[in-house]
Amino acid sequence: MGSMIELKAGDGHKLAAYRADPPGKPRGAVVVIQEIFGVNSHIKAIADGYAKDGWLAIAPAMFDRAQRGYDTGYSQPEIQAGVAVMQKLDWKQTMLDVEAAVAEAKKAGKVGIVGYCWGGTVSWVAAARLSGLACSAPYYGGGMPGFIGEKPRIPTMCHFGELDQSPTLEQTKAIAKAHPEITAHFYPGAGHGFNCDQRGSYHAESARLARQRTVEFFRKHLG
């Protein structure tokens, strides 16, 4: 459904991105931020899903700074490898890469951002630091507790699994308490990665509900 394109960040870095176009005229755009497994089949499927709902979807290859074309599965060694790549990245450059995706997405109208796992943390930080976004929907960002002081400047809806260990329920409740301006949804029975149907942690009911809420949220803020 989609195709790979190239984006250029503000510092001249070129990165790949997966682009999925809606069937008709886009009602805005959604930037999809990957987990630590790269722009893999699951992230592409998410982008395709948002495109089917009427938005232009762009999933930038955020790991291109450290390792181009990164795309893996979910085994323990692959998780460890993904964490190692993630640790090579720098937040300033990461935000430049998000900005490049937002600039491209803007051609379709207002831009929202959604991210999962590491991408959830990226979506949270972007909501506080970047201009050009209309709303943000972070899913279970393990690094979010470390950024509890960031102040989202746009409507933000967070999705957390109550059984998650990264971030823990205690940590996510603290984030929600520190930021009364955000909407935080908690999913009983769901752990980390509950949205991903390729992982053992997949929790179908929570994934469906979270997606439904995110789509409504995007309709409200993007069109």
DSSP lists the bridge partners of residue 185 as 159
* CA neighbor of 94 nearest in space, from 133, 134, 68, 65: 65
**Which structural domain, as residue segments, surrounds residue 67?**
3-222
What pLDDT is stored for residue 16 in this prediction?
A: 98
Neighbouring C-beta atoms of residue 13, cutoff 10 Å: 14
Q: How many domains does the chain have?
A: 1
Q: Are strands 183-187 and 157-161 parallel, antiparallel or unpaired?
A: parallel
Q: Which candidate in 192, 196, 203, 221 is catalytic? A: 192
Judging by DSSP bridges, how do beta strands 56-60 and 157-161 pair with one another?
unpaired
Segments of 123-214 assigned E as strands: 135-139, 157-161, 183-187
pLDDT tens-digit series, residues 154-198? 999 999 999 999 999 999 999 999 999 999 999 999 999 999 999
State residue 123's pLDDT score. Answer: 98
Q: What are the pLDDT digits (tens) for 19-66? A: 999 999 999 999 999 999 999 999 999 999 999 999 999 999 999 999
> Does residue 136 carry a pLDDT above 90?
yes
Among residues 164, 179, 196, 221, which one is catalytic? Answer: 164
Active-site entry in 42, 48, 97, 117: 117
Task: Find the CATH number of the domain harbouring 89.
Answer: 3.40.50.1820
- pLDDT number for residue 140: 98
179 is catalytic: no
Mean predicted lDDT score pLDDT of the chain: 98
- pTM for the model: 0.98
